[in-house]
Amino acid sequence: MRRAALAMLAKNISPPNLSIMQDEGLTVGRIKTEVLSGLTVALALVPEAVAFAFVAGVHPLVGLYAAFMVGLITAIFGGRPGMISGATGALAVVMVALVAQHGVEYLFATVVLMGILQVIAGVMHWGKFIRLVPHPVMLGFVNGLAIVIFLAQMSQFKQPGSMVSDGHGMTGGEWLAGPQMLTMLGLVGLTMGVIYLMPKVTKAFPAPLAGIAITAIVVIVFGLDVPRVGDMASIEGGLPAFHIPAVPLNYETFSIILPYAVILAAIGLIESLLTLNLVGEMTGKRGGASQECIAQGAANVATGFFGGMGGCAMIGQSMINVKSGGRTRIAGIAAALFLLAFILWASSLIEQIPLAALVGVMFMVVIGTFAWNSFKIMRKVPLMDAFVIVLVTVVTVLEDLAVAVVVGVIVSALAYAWQNARRIHAITRESESDPGAKVYEIEGPLFFGSSDGFTELFEIENDPAHVIVDFARSRVVDQSALQAIEAVAAKYEAAGKQLVLRHLSRDCHELLSRAGNLMVDSDDDPEYEIAVDYSVRTGVFGGGH
């Protein structure tokens, strides 16, 4: 029952309306779809990059340059075609304190160091540890991100320029009122309606792009008074120029930027690798974690030297790309190049796009990203898995993604350890080959969580003079398990009784001191190894055999 429930949970991680067909060949039609998908993503990237730049306390072009540089490099070299990267809010909220205290040049230096750390993580293949993230955590991550994306759009319903930074992000502001709010809501609904109905009419044109275009035409033709992209900030600028961060190259600078770089690198990789896993679930592809780490790192190193604020994978834009038909690296490359074109030549045109159109696109992303089946799933999976789903969702919304994932993994690991700790037990019988001897057949894993329960299994005072402990159905996992075996052997020795240990692996033979001479070798002894550095009393025994 548990396996079936978990299988259902895994199956429903990816939104059902975003399922992907097998990759198609690069026909003219496919290339057109990829390019149009990239254009849609680029349009959605503009307000996001500007908003995150405001959050970090830097010029809007710093966010736009980051979206271009990170997006282009990761699209070319990243581990999963279809992913979109750029400036993100998860990183921006960490950067704001650094910028406020030390200035933007220290931010550029931090982004370079952040990228170096990410490249190291990729070279060392640390990305593979994302496999340790359980499915309930992934589901909570998806639902939490959907809620965060939804809440982030609320700022677009406030008067432009009325929000202020509180040191952690943009807050406050006056809500749109009266006819302006109704018009805004109507345009958002129009965009969502077009996106919903467009695939039923034709799939030759990306639905999100059609929604943006139709809503923009309505606003411009009728001269509707609603917030537009240009009301946030001007996006006009030139090519990003190479620039070495103007900071002293000394230990003091390193001590300032290192803590921020470590945090940013960790958050960026966690968000990128979880997005990679999500896109992998949707595309049916696996692998690429180390490649993605290296690509993200290289992108951030380059961004730091070209005046960008750094970035990582963006789940919202990745979902827009997928929904618009993006399947290959062409879409990501096109998105980055379109964004650069907006900055260089088309800023006046892009600034006329109503924010309502982009909000409508993001609301459709929210609907498609949130795993609505999770409400049904949580009634069928174990209670602890359901709790983890809710916990990760809540922490993602209230804190941030990195904290939520760490909390979810820790809780899941502790729950797993507790469940396995309760599995340790013994079946006792009289030995057939040695009349009068008592046999303890140990069942269940023996590790730090079950070591106390293991020692409580034995009735040393009431046992006969000859006792056999058989580990054929058990698994000795760690140093605590070895310590528990030693403790039991010592108690039998003190009671003057003979103890024999059977079916322990060869490395256990070498690591156990007091009990070592009590073991009996068998042809069917297990071959698993315990990688520990184990010290007993006055001796030290090296593990990892």
- Residue 227 phi/psi, 5-degree rounding, is -60, 140
DSSP reduced 3-state for 442:
strand
8 A C-beta contact, residue 92 and residue 239: no
SS3 489: helix
Does the pTM of the predicted model rise above 0.85?
no
pLDDT at site 22: 41
d(CA 426, CA 367): 51
| 3-class DSSP state of 227 | coil
**Residue 136 contacts residue 392 (beta carbons within 8 Å):** yes
> Residue 466: enclosing H or E segment and its boundaries?
strand 466-476
Q: What is the pLDDT of residue 544?
A: 31
519-520 sheet: strands from edge to edge = 425-430, 438-446, 466-476, 498-502, 519-520
Q: How is residue 427 written in tokens?
A: 């079946």
Give CA–CA dist 304/531, Å, rounded: 40
Contacts of 435 (CB under 8 A, 6+ apart): none
d(CA 134, CA 113): 30
**Are the CB atoms for 52 and 96 separated by under 8 Å?**
no
Provide DSSP, 369-437: HS-TTHHHHTTTS-HHHHHHHHHHHHHHHHS-HHHHHHHHHHHHHHHHHHHHHTT-EEEEEE-SSSTT-
- CATH homologous superfamily for 425-542? STAS domain (3.30.750.24)
Q: Where are the alpha helices (DSSP H) in 12-161?
A: 28-56, 60-77, 89-102, 104-123, 135-152
Q: Mean pLDDT, 10 residues at a time, over the chain (545 residues)?
A: 47 40 67 94 92 90 96 95 91 90 96 98 92 90 89 86 56 82 96 94 89 95 92 91 95 96 93 86 76 96 96 92 89 96 94 93 90 90 94 91 89 91 91 87 92 92 92 86 88 90 73 58 51 32 30
Give backbone dihedrals phi and psi of 426, rounded to 5 degrees, phi first: -135, 140
Is there a contact between 250 and 81 (Cβ–Cβ < 8 Å)?
no
> What count of other Cβ atoms lies within 10 Å of the Cβ of residue 537?
8
Q: How far is CA 1 from CA 96, 116, 487, in A?
A: 48, 45, 38
- Report the run of H or E that residue 475 belongs to, with start and end: strand 466-476
Cβ count within 10 A of residue 5: 17
Whose CA is closest to 147, among 313, 393, 390?
393
In the chain, DSSP finds a helix count (H) and a strand count (E) of: 21, 11
Residues across the chain: 545
DSSP 292-329: HHHHHHHHHHHHHHTT----EE-HHHHHHHHHTT--SH
Return the structure tokens found at 318.
């990745």
Q: Are strands 466-476 and 498-502 parallel, antiparallel or unpaired?
A: parallel
Q: Where are the domains of the chain?
A: 26-159+177-370, 425-542
Give, to the nearest 10 degrees, the angle between helix 315-323 and helix 135-152. Answer: 90
> Collapsing DSSP states into helix, strand and coil, what is residue 175?
strand
Please give the Cα distance from 377 to 382 (Å, whole number): 10
Q: Is the Cβ–Cβ distance between 152 and 358 less than 8 Å?
A: no
CA-based radius of gyration for the chain? 29
Q: How far is CA 368 from CA 235, 295, 301, in A?
A: 29, 27, 33
Q: How far apart are CA 460 and CA 345, in angstroms?
A: 85
Beta-bridged to residue 519, according to DSSP, are 501
- Quote the distance between the C-alpha of residue 319 and its chain's center: 15
> Quick check: 288 and 71 in contact, CB under 8 A?
no
**Which token pair is 491?**
């108690």
